[in-house]
């Protein structure tokens, strides 16, 4: 599903990703590891199609509508409530049976009680959970997660573990993380960036 | 069904042929020299306007060339957005750069003409001059835009869109300025035909050809220079 | 149809965000009224109405710039723009939603500014108001696009006015003409032409500005 060779991305004179290769079959679980600044985020953005490589070849066998992306940033509006955020993205991502799906996700990630409060009042953990809801809202075939565990508290991390468990094998996942051990049992491919 | 997105990216080492440049440059210089001699010395003076009218032979071709360069820049910009090939970004940029230079020259020669003809260094009543001022501001902003963005696809696309806006701005601004002022600007070609006598017309045409050729040579030289710069940087990186 | 509902959803979102964060509209209101007061002191004794109309347009343009500078801030705050761009909906809908929202704020600010102008300086007739509305559309359309371009780079607060002002010149000509000229119709036509051309151009170009 994903094939990338010799991927490179430059910002002006600075190279943030050099000679990266990645190959992930459909249903695979790829873990991207590497120190800070090695280009994990950049690689994920390339896969999402937000940026293009300055060098190399990239094949991503999936429509834009089928990609779910969890970035470093939460990608939600601070001044809107969880419900309003998911309503908007649900509409834009053409989620069928929007209300039910939103309700289900909010419940699953323990955000139902806070659904009518603005994101600006949320803790980091709550915001990250909402971001996850947003990324998974449209049941994407390709899920890209950039350091998903970083902002989560223990309860949230456990929720995510369960979620990843459920998704692995059914969907294609690419997870960038500092803590590859956590997802080691699910990993089918590892991409180590220098 | 999934959509396959396969893209290959990389360095475009298309080299611009520079062999013909010295010859063209010499021709341009020669033709410019001829044009200047004809315009400033040889051709008969206009009864109404006197000496100041001579600047006209240089001013108008420069203005026309500036328009052409902006148009070329916009065309290359369109190609970039349409075809996505990197090289159009540089070509568009160089064309607009040349256009801006010639635009500045238009303002300068126009100002000289205004001083010589009407006694003022600047006249708001001169539609063409005002139009060029607006365009000059617009295209200076183009460079500011480019400086503020990092090299890459984002910068290329934003620059291209801006270049397209520029070329659309030309007729709209012209209309606006026309509406803003009603005034006399000696038109070169009236509906009855050129207002100039035979020798004057010939001089004008030679001057126009000279300026156009000069612009073309400058465009090619700058483009070749920038491409070599870029190639050199890529080679350095490849060797690191 | 989905396109229009997308746009409606996006505009509604912008209005909601502004209503809750209250960053932009109060600032625009205060700015425009304060500017009008400054103009009173800036105009020498005995200056005709014509100068006042001219300055009104300066106030309008700079108030619009103020609003435009803040236009994309909610999208950049938590990187939300990426989420919008990745959606299967049309990218141009993002631009249209934003333009309509900015237009709403500008008109709202003018609902206060114009009566204030009439109070301080000179009357405004129907053609003058029509001119203001048409010019609003133009400046918001072009400005939203330019703001998106500038936002991607550094020194964006400085860059936005530089990018927008040359493009705003025909609008100012049209607006002032509609207010003072006996042949106001021609100026309104100019504004309509500007709006038509540049709105379509902005609408079509937005996609290229936010993607690579």
Burial class (CB in 10 A: 0-12, 13-18, 19+), A76: buried
Examine the pLDDT at B192 and tell me if it is beyond 80.
no
B177 touches chain C (CB under 8 A): yes
Those residues of chain C whose CB sits closer than 8 Å to some CB in chain A are 2, 5-6, 9-10, 13, 16-17, 20-21, 74, 77-80, 82-89, 211-212
Residue B181: its pLDDT value, please?
Answer: 67
Are the Cβ atoms of C162 and B141 closer than 8 angstroms? yes
CA angle C197, C202, C207 (to 5 degrees): 145
Indicate the SS3 state at residue A69. Answer: strand
Are the Cβ atoms of A78 and C74 closer than 8 angstroms? yes
C188: which chain B residues are within 8 Å (Cβ-Cβ)? none
Are the Cβ atoms of A62 and B9 closer than 8 angstroms? no
Residue A101: its pLDDT value, please?
Answer: 96
DSSP H or E segment with residue B134: helix B127-148
Q: Average the pLDDT over A28-43 and give the result.
A: 91
Residue C147: its pLDDT value, please?
Answer: 96
Are the Cβ atoms of A58 and B150 closer than 8 angstroms? no
Q: Average the pLDDT over B98-123 and give the result.
A: 91
Tokens representing C76 are 């950049």
| Chain B residues 200-239 within an 8 A CB cutoff of chain C | none
Closest chain C C-alpha to A180 CA, distance in angstroms: 25
User: What are the tens digits of pLDDT across the range A114-127?
Assistant: 999 999 999 999 99
Decide if A32 contacts A40 (C-beta within 8 A): yes
User: What are the tens digits of pLDDT across the range A100-114?
Assistant: 999 999 999 999 999
C192: which chain B residues are within 8 Å (Cβ-Cβ)? none
Tokens representing A99 are 């209300």
Decide if C63 contacts C108 (C-beta within 8 A): no
* pLDDT-derived band at B47, boundaries 50, 70, 90: low
User: What are the tens digits of pLDDT across the range C53-80?
Assistant: 888 999 999 999 999 999 999 999 889 9
Examine the pLDDT at B187 and tell me if it is beyond 80.
no
A4 touches chain B (CB under 8 A): no
Which of A2, A9, A12 best tests the B interface by mutation, with the highest count of B CBs <10 A? A12
Closest chain A C-alpha to B78 CA, distance in angstroms: 20
In the block, residue with structure tokens 């300086």: C121
pTM for the full predicted model:
0.91
Tokens representing B235 are 């080679």
B5: which chain C residues are within 8 Å (Cβ-Cβ)? none
The β-bridge partners of A23 are A3
User: What are the tens digits of pLDDT across the range B127-150?
Assistant: 889 999 999 999 999 999 999 998
- What share of chain B in percent tops pLDDT 90? 47
- What share of chain C in percent tops pLDDT 90? 76
Examine the pLDDT at B3 and tell me if it is beyond 60.
no
């Amino acid at each position: 599903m994903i094939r990338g060779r010799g991927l490179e991305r430059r910002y002006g004179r600075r190279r943030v990703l050099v000679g990266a290769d990645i190959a992930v079959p459909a249903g695979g679980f790829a873990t991207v590891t590497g120190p800070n600044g090695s280009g994990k985020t950049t690689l994920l953005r390339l896969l999402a199609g937000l940026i293009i490589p300055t060098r190399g070849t990239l094949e991503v066998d999936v429509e834009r509508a089928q990609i779910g992306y969890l970035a470093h940033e939460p990608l939600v509006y601070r001044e809107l409530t969880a419900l309003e955020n998911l309503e908007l993205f649900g509409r834009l991502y053409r989620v069928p049976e929007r209300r039910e799906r939103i309700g289900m996700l909010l419940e699953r990630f323990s955000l139902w009680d806070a659904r009518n409060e603005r994101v600006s009042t949320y803790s980091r953990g709550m915001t990250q959970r909402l971001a996850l809801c947003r990324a998974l809202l449209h049941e994407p075939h390709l899920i890209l997660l950039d350091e998903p565990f970083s902002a989560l508290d223990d309860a949230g991390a456990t929720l995510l573990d369960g979620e990843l468990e459920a998704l692995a094998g059914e969907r294609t996942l690419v997870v960038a993380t500092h803590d590859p051990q956590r997802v080691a049992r699910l990993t089918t491919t590892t991409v180590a960036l220098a | 069904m999934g959509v396959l997105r396969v893209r290959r990216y990389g360095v475009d080492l298309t080299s611009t042929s520079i062999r013909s440049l010295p010859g063209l440059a010499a021709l341009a210089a020669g033709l410019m020299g001829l044009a200047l001699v004809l315009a400033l010395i040889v051709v008969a003076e206009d009864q109404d306007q006197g000496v100041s009218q001579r600047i006209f032979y240089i001013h108008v071709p420069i203005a026309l060339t500036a328009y052409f360069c902006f148009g070329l820049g916009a065309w290359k910009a369109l190609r970039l957005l349409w075809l996505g090939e990197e090289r159009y970004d540089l070509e568009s940029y160089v064309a607009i750069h040349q256009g801006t230079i010639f635009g500045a020259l238009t303002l300068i020669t126009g100002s000289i003409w205004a001083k010589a003809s009407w006694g003022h260094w600047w006249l708001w009543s001169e539609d063409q001059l005002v139009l060029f001022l607006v365009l000059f501001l617009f295209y200076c902003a183009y460079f500011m835009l480019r400086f503020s963005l990092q090299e890459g696809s984002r910068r290329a696309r934003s620059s291209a869109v801006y270049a397209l806006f520029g070329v659309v701005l030309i007729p709209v601004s012209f209309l606006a300025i026309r509406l803003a002022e009603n005034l006399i600007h000696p038109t070169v070609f009236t509906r009855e035909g050129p207002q100039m006598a035979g020798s004057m017309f010939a001089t004008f045409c030679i001057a126009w050809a000279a300026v156009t050729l000069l612009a073309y040579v400058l465009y090619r030289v700058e483009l070749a220079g920038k491409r070599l710069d870029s190639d050199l940087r890529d080679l350095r990186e490849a060797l690191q | 149809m989905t396109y229009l509902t997308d746009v409606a959803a996006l505009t509604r979102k912008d209005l909601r965000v502004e209503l809750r964060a209250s960053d932009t509209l109060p600032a625009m209101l205060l700015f425009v009224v304060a500017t009008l007061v400054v103009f009173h002191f800036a105009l020498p004794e005995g200056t005709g109405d014509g100068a006042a109309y001219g300055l009104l347009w300066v106030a309008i343009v700079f108030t619009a710039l103020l609003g435009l500078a803040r236009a994309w801030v909610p999208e950049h705050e938590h990187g939300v723009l990426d989420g919008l761009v990745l959606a299967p909906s049309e990218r141009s809908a993002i631009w249209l939603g934003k333009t309509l929202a900015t237009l709403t704020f500008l008109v709202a600010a003018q609902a206060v500014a114009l009566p204030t102008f009439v109070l301080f300086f000179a009357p405004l007739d129907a053609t003058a108001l029509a001119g203001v509305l048409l010019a609003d559309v133009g400046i918001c359309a072009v400005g939203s696009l330019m703001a998106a371009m500038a936002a991607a780079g550094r020194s964006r607060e400085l860059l936005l006015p530089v990018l927008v002002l040359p493009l705003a010149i025909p609008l100012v000509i049209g607006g002032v003409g509609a207010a003072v000229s006996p042949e106001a119709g021609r100026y309104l036509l100019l504004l309509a032409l500007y709006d038509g051309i540049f709105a379509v151009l902005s609408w079509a170009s937005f996609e290229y500005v936010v993607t690579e």
